Amino acid sequence: MSDDHAAAPTGAGGREIFGHPRGLLVLAATDLWDRISFYGMQSLLVLYLVDQLLRPGHVEHIIGFTAFRAGLEHVTGPLSTQALATQIFGLYVGMVALGSVFGGLIGDRWLGRRGSIALGALLMTAGHFCMAFDASFLAAMALLILGAGLLRGNILPQFGELYARDDRRRDVAFQVYGSMVNLGAFIAPLLTGALGQAYGWHVAFGFAGVGMLTGLIVYVSGQKLLPQARPRGRHIPRERLDRDGWKMVGFLVLLTPVGAGFWVAQSQVWNTYNLWVRDHVELRFGSWTMPVPWLQSLDGLAPFILLPPMLWLWAWQRARDREPDEFVKTAIGCFIFSASTLWLAAAGFVTDAHGRTPLIWPVMFHLISNLGWLYFSPPFYALYSRLAPRSVNATLIGVGTAAVTIGSFISGRLGGLYETLTAGQFWTLHAAIVGTGGVALLAMGAWARRLFPAQA
């Protein structure tokens, strides 16, 4: 059993930079390269499946795909090429998030944080390189799912373990984590979109592998700045949960599907949204056509524009004892994201002579939706980090990320409706789902304040 997560919060020697443990920079850089590789591949996946891999001349080369498709369609019914692509995407993203549950459990009980993160990075590197070949597509998906589960299930808890449980800097650390997620989401589509358009899909996927390998090197090089592992062995007692601890575990498990409402809509930004952009947005500028994934890079740029004023607002509210708690923040995030999705639904009313929506319309969507993301995602995970009992902290943070799994599975299934609903109906449906999630989060917050008055 490993308890390296219980090490001194400030890491090696308590050294700090800008008022934070120096290990924060190591983890942030590692996560940045993880996200560059992950979002680089993810931004191309649906387009790659629809435009090449699932077409005759390619699909028959995928090892094991006939059996995979038969099993999937046994559950869903017959799927068109486009519906199959969106379903594969939803399953992939959902399984990556679900893998974090088991990755956190492995880190809590056996491999420890460091071993789990290093192994996860190696598996992801191998998976990205396997994406460079048609035949190894399913093997690539499996390696990426396993690797991401180990890496993400342990690196997020390690952010929190740099701080004492009552340290207010923890919220800033999770915002740094969120910023790395979004910086990677900004850089990756620009690079892989350009590489894919100029040199082909497989070159772009190979670049993602190089990015993940770079992240592994950064992480291994910065080990001395991270929390130290305690000796392993059966003689180390494991903290047992009391009645209140089990009650908190149950509450956080119930909270997970509530948070999934947000991810149903957000997951479509990397799934069916690319097809919508391809079909409805004016991307031509003279003789040059902008790569579709470039719009998704705004999902990384927008948070950097919006984060400083948002943090200023929270600090201003905190000074007046009016800062919302995590439940209210996440609900606000849902409502903002719902409004942005309705903005997409209205795009059909603003078209040019060719029936295409001006580029400014999706640009505004990314600005609005990412304000919702900032209100929802970092506070949602900070909530699990703060409330989860220490002995199962990483496991429960993994349970929290399972909200992405549920949302991605649902969004993958809903992606098939893109062929039967109008674009306006499709996005209005998602706006209703995420808005309902916001109402449910407010209700869960009120319940938590009654159940756990001291913590919530």
Query: Residue 15: its pLDDT value, please?
Result: 64
In terms of C-beta distances under 8 Å and separation of at least 24 residues, what long-range contacts does 349-358 make, across chains too?
A: 352/282, 354/282, 355/280, 356/280, 356/281, 356/282, 357/280, 357/281, 357/282, 358/281, 358/282
- How far apart CA 149 and CA 49 sit, in angstroms, is 23
- Burial code (b: 16+ CB inside 10 Å, e: under 16) for 360-390 equals ebbeebbbbbbbbbbbbbbbbbbbbbbbbbe
The CB density around residue 7, as the number of other CB atoms within 10 Å, is 18
Taking only the tens place, the pLDDT of each residue in 392-441 is 776 787 788 788 889 988 999 899 899 999 999 999 999 999 999 999 99
Model's pTM, two decimal places?
0.76
Query: Residue 2: its pLDDT value, please?
Result: 40
- How far apart CA 345 and CA 439 sit, in angstroms, is 21
Do 406 and 256 form a contact (C-beta atoms < 8 A)? yes
Taking only the tens place, the pLDDT of each residue in 99-128 is 877 888 888 788 888 999 999 999 999 999
Taking only the tens place, the pLDDT of each residue in 282-298 is 999 888 889 888 888 88
* Six-digit token string for 124: 């992801």
Comparing 344 with 308, the larger pLDDT belongs to 344
Mean pLDDT to the nearest integer, 82-95: 92
Do 399 and 255 form a contact (C-beta atoms < 8 A)? no
* Six-digit token string for 363: 């640009």
* Six-digit token string for 68: 């995979």
Residues with Cβ within 8 Å of residue 396, at least 6 apart in sequence = 104, 249, 252, 253, 384, 388, 389
Taking only the tens place, the pLDDT of each residue in 155-198 is 878 877 887 767 767 767 777 777 777 788 788 888 888 888 78
CB-count exposure of residue 167 (10 Å: 0-12, 13-18, 19+):
middle
Average model confidence (pLDDT) across the chain: 87
Mean pLDDT to the nearest integer, 377-387: 87
